[in-house]
Amino acid sequence: MVRSEVFDFIANSQGIRADATLLEKSKAQPHIRSSTAAFYKYAWFYHFKHIGPKILRSRTEAMITAAALGTKKGQAVYTSAVNDVMQQTVQRQQWKTFFPRAVADPCLQIADYFAWSIQRKWERGDTA
């Protein structure tokens, strides 16, 4: 019931866009999968290297929003990685990073739905 309601909301909304970069940890080079932090930093890098210039080309500012992590130390590492990637990939723009709890941000809930549906498609072939 909830899944179909979320799908209907997304399908009937204007201007929602989802971009995904799929990475398989087991296929990554050893130095990339050496830690979770390193792996996700590469994920952010490859995503923004290819998507960032396309979606930010006519913009001067960007707000990068991702779900908060559980610990302050983990969040600090994650925030630093995202900021480092932004410096490397979208140098012209000014940006801010924002890490709210996923339950508190409706856009993150929509992003989570997209990620869930992409995962189901790739892992199970489920397109329904």
Statement: residue 1 has pLDDT above 60: no
pTM value > 0.75: yes
Tell me the average pLDDT of the chain.
Answer: 85
Q: How far is CA 87 from CA 6, 25, 51, in A?
A: 34, 24, 15
- End-to-end CA separation in angstroms for the chain: 14
Tell me which of 1 and 9 has the higher pLDDT.
9
**Stretch 56-67: mean pLDDT:** 84
pLDDT digits (tens, 9 = 90+) for 65-113: 888 877 888 888 888 888 899 888 876 668 888 888 888 888 888 888 8
pLDDT > 70? residue 128: no
- In 3-state terms, what secondary structure has residue 31? coil
For residue 117, the model assigns a pLDDT of 87
- Rounded CA separation 12/6 (Å): 10
Q: Could you tell me which residue, 33 or 5, shows the higher pLDDT?
A: 33
27 neighbors 47 (Cβ within 8 angstroms): no
> The tokens of 37 are what?
């932090």
Is it the case that residue 120 has pLDDT exceeding 80?
yes
Rounded Cα gap, residues 29 and 80, in angstroms: 22
Q: Is 17 left (phi over 0), alpha (psi -120 to 50) or beta?
A: beta
